[in-house]
């Protein structure tokens, strides 16, 4: 399953109002570390389907949301629950780091 594409337009409805936890990968096409974690994000989207909403937000196309959450370096991954940021990862990380943070939210 592919990750959801978050945008400035749908972020409130898709991420903040979600009734399940949300993982948002802030990325850009030119970012090397973003490409490194992309396969992990895709795997997580499939593995947690129905339990956690996993998606990506392109910071070049959706600057409002990136600015709102103070994203200064990418990849930045936000873990949201009930519309609130409960955890953050900055930089490329291992799949186990992602799953540990997701397990704490579910």
Q: Of these residues, 23, 34, 45, 78, which one is catalytic?
A: 34
Output the CA torsion sign for 49, 39, 58, 66. positive
* Strand-strand pairing, 22-27 and 4-6: unpaired
Choose, from 4, 23, 24, 31, the residue flagged as catalytic.
31
Q: Give the whole-angstrom CA distance, residue 50 versus residue 91.
A: 26
Per-position DSSP letters for 45-89, written without gaps between them: HHHTTTTSEEEEEETTT-HHHHHHTT--SSSEEEEEETTEEEEEE
Instruction: Tell me if residue 34 is catalytic.
Output: yes
Asked if 31 is an active-site residue, the reply is: yes
As a whole number of angstroms, the distance between CA 72 and CA 76 comes to 8
Which residues are catalytically annotated? 31, 34
């Amino acid at each position: 399953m592919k990750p959801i594409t978050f945008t400035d337009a749908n972020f409130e409805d898709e991420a903040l109002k979600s009734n399940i936890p949300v993982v948002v990968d802030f990325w850009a096409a030119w970012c090397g570390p973003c490409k490194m974690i992309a396969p992990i994000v895709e795997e997580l989207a499939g593995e947690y389907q129905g339990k956690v909403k996993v998606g990506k937000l392109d910071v070049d196309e959706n600057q409002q949301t990136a600015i709102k959450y103070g994203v200064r370096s990418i990849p930045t991954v936000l873990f949201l629950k009930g519309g609130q940021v409960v955890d953050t990862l900055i930089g490329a990380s291992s799949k186990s780091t992602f799953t540990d943070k997701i397990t704490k939210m579910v």
